[in-house]
Amino acid sequence: MEVEEGDGPANQASADGDSDILPAPVLGAASHSSAQWEKTLTRIIPAIVSIKMIVVRAFDTDSQKSSQASGFVVDKERGIILSNRHVVHPGPILAEAIFNQSKEEIKLTPIYRDPVHDFGFFQFNVKDIKYMDIVEIPLVVAPEKVRVGVDIRVVGNDSGERLSILSGTLARLDRKAPFYGAGKYNDWNTFYYQAASMTSGGSSGSPVINVDGEAIALNAGGSTSAASSFFLPLDRVVRVLQYLQTGVVQIPRGTLQTIFKFSPYDEVKRLGLLPQVESEVRKEFPDGTGMLVVSQVIPKGPAEGIMEPGDIIVKLNGKMVTKFVPLEEVFDSSVGHSVSFSVQRGVELKDIEVSVQDLHSITPDRYVEVGGGILNTVSYQMAVSFMVPTSGVFVAQAGYMLSMAGVSRKCCLIELNNVPIPTLEKFVEVMETLRDGERVPLRFIHLSDINKEKVSLMQVDRKWHGFNLAVRDETSGLWNYSKLAPCIGPAIYEPHTATHLALDENLGPGRDVIPSLIHIEVHMPFYIDGAANSVAAGIGLVVDAELGLVLGDRHTIPISLGDVMLTFANSIIIPGKILFIHQVYNFVLLRYDVTLLGETFVKSAVFSKKDLSQGDSVHMVCLSKAYQALVRKTVVTNKRQFFVAEPIPPCFRAINVEGIELENPISNAGVLTDEVGHIQALYAAHSKFSSKGKSEFFMGMPISLIEPTVTHVRNLLLEQKVLEPYAYTLEAELSYAQVAQARVLGLPDSWVKRLEGTHLSRRNVLVIRRVTSGTEACKLLKEGDMILAVDGNAVADYNEIMKHTDKSELNLTIMRDKKELSLTVPASLMSIHTSERIVGWSGAVFQMPHRAIFHQLKTVPEGVLCSVVYDGSPAQLYQLQPLSWVTEINGQKILNLDDLVEAVSKIPSDSFARVKTVNFQRFVKVLAIRVNTHYFGTWQLKRVVGGGDWILETIDVAQQL
């Protein structure tokens, strides 16, 4: 674990900013030959293990992640391995160890993680080691063996290497505990050793070995600015190990919720240390260099109001104490009892008593999963970092539901639905009264700014994610799950009426259009079909107020999976349902329940019959994010083709359409209208992709391209018929080429005249830019083909190809390699939705390849597409990559999601699955993934046939062998 040197908060135990420290002068330091070290290392290396672990849930100070570290055997009979607390972790983990000698891999069970100090223990089944004799490394705390100038070796897994040996020399024995950052794991109330030995990632948990082959400390951290390493002394480690060896699981640990710091005499004197007190202390500890001082008292802890920062500790239970170890020995043996202190406060000596609290009681051992997030009680670690009490609902991971409400990690929830929630239990109680989709007020703070309370609206999620309680089992090391109360039903929306917006006369046609414009907000719980955002907002156009039919864009609603909320008149928010998603053009159709708007005035937009042309005057009508009307009269400067670079991962791109550009446009979504407010174009955002990421640009789209779909859907709704795929499309991306270029490629003059005759203002030829793989069209068409005619009629613009939505095949005349060809090319029936089923397994999300994949890849592998790999999952640990195809599992061919579910259902938990994959660049890779159904069960989300709601299902798997 690495640490940036420098002090933490003024009232916090932290690193002392002394990265320039030089080793103290050593007199008579022992020197050992390389032969001695070689013999020692040969003896102890078999006890070293490399540890791979995944933090399967965010919890307390930890995020969900995978990592690597080191450890070493300290009890070969019981199979106990010592490592760091930040390796064992406070929350649920899955860990494996590889012995460096025999390369045998074993499962590790966490059996103890210290609440404060940076050490913890794993245990393994010694019977699992078959090809070597297990060796243990003895732990020593003898002062004569731990002194400045001692030669050491740090042996472990450094920077990902299976085995690394780094040499060093102990330079300090009284360094402050390193500070790793507010809100991260930190240690306190202990000294650390320091040595000039640059350890790095993966070396955490390595033993610090002397020449006798004994562990004298535990490697814990290192400086990023100097070649210094920090080691934890073993005094408290040995104590806990002795308890574990006798079968005690709940190790006695006491606390006053008070942070002490060791201050040298010169600093203590500045605090007012009385001469007679100093004299007595120096007499008792002639080799001592300082005393303990109270640094921080946690609010509402047992010492609040009794101890104060700056108190100098003179005696504890009648005995003088200047070191951390005797201090903690008293605390750990006095849980539930009071201890007496003699302290100096200012110039006054005071005798005080403080009750010792059970440290484990303020160390969270449970969490709640809700809406994709993780909640636990505020821990002692967080309390020290942010000077808050060890109580309250802490957000370890915001997840889908809370992040949509503006809540982030390290927030504390205060009220939900106007009810105080001081505990996890109260939070659960309130959540159980809420309906799925209900919007309720949420009050919270961020721990970094506890003086600023925030209130937002939270939309309850009981559909996309589970609602569970997990409690740590100290015996098994697992966190056992129990399902919390099921959802009481979907949200019930009451009708409301909003007054009509009063609009200025100067808005012109905007006054007629604004009542048709609404806000759209969509929340997407999973990243599928290449969608990379969890929330998007845009503008909708009501095209039929009686049916509740709304026109939107695919930049706002890229996929069928999600929650859609519609805002009317900046006064009423109601849910919307996705009816239709166009597969080529940038538009979608939504529907809402008109009864929820009461008597609210909503106007159906009127479509213009006239297409816009270059030079036309037009009114641009938009809604700002604050629901303000924005109207500007402008001019069409151009109608042109535009291309969006193919993104990675592939996702929807509008193709085969000309964009309308304006003079001095408003950078906002809306519509383009004529003088009387009739809609001539949808002005919407398009996604743009580059090496710098995703951005957006705005283009107008002729309403004439959208009107046929709107009419078709409206008629089906009026007839109360099910909406099904109905429109055909040519599976090719087209582009315009100059006639001059086409001549060079072999276009004869006769065709030039015909094409120029179709559009007197155009001088271009349609060229196939890309053909969608896996379709009938890709068998007949090639990139570079020039399309000259459809059904014998010359064509020169996109719409002359795209308007044939009622034809299942097109008779094309093309020019290829200077030869004229007549082809009958099958068209494809376009889906009206995007992916409608996903499966989760081993911490990855799978789906069938979507349209953008086929459009972007020349050859799409058989199998199911891995679209997401979550941090801290088996899929991540064993390097399953997003945007790869799973083609085979345990020898079973995987062609679709049913095959995947069938294959993984046969795999018992804790066994390995052999997974064959093909990546985006067609490289084949075979992985072995250890399945864990306890934390990573198999599930699926699928949409009800006919465009209904989504259903979350768990999938049963084979029992453990």
Catalytic machinery residues: 86, 118, 203
Residue 704, classed as helix, strand or coil, is: helix
For residues 182 and 386, what is the distance between their CA atoms, to the nearest angstrom?
7
What is the enclosing helix (H) or strand (E) of 879? Answer: none
Residue that is written with structure tokens 């804790």 in the block: 910
Amino acid at 845: V
Q: Is 506 left (phi over 0), alpha (psi -120 to 50) or beta?
A: alpha
On whether the CB atoms of residues 199 and 168 are closer than 8 A, the answer is: no
Question: Beta-carbon neighbour count of residue 450 at 10 Å?
Answer: 12
For residues 592 and 949, what is the distance between their CA atoms, to the nearest angstrom?
14
DSSP string for 567-603: EETTTEEEEEEEEEE-SSSS-EEEE--GGGGTT----
Interaxial angle between packed helices 235-245 and 324-332, expressed in degrees from 0 to 180 and rounded to the nearest 10: 30
For residues 774 and 914, what is the distance between their CA atoms, to the nearest angstrom?
28
Q: Which residues contact 447 (CB under 8 A, 6 or more apart)?
A: 183, 382, 385, 386, 388, 410, 411, 412
DSSP string for 61-92: TBPSEEEEEEEEEEETTTTEEEE-HHHH-SS-
Q: Helix %, strand %, coil % for the chain, to 5?
A: 15, 40, 45
On whether the CB atoms of residues 514 and 506 are closer than 8 A, the answer is: no
On whether the CB atoms of residues 573 and 566 are closer than 8 A, the answer is: yes
Strand intervals (E) in 157-298:
164-175, 192-195, 207-209, 215-223, 229-232, 254-255, 258-264, 290-297
For the record, the structure tokens of 531 come out as 């969608």
For residues 914 and 916, what is the distance between their CA atoms, to the nearest angstrom?
7
On whether the CB atoms of residues 239 and 174 are closer than 8 A, the answer is: no
On whether the CB atoms of residues 558 and 529 are closer than 8 A, the answer is: yes
Amino acid at 83: S
Rounded to the nearest angstrom, the gap between the alpha carbon of residue 845 and the centroid of all alpha carbons in its chain is 14
On whether the CB atoms of residues 32 and 211 are closer than 8 A, the answer is: yes
For residues 95 and 211, what is the distance between their CA atoms, to the nearest angstrom?
30
**Alpha-carbon torsion (283, 287, 289, 294), positive or negative:** negative
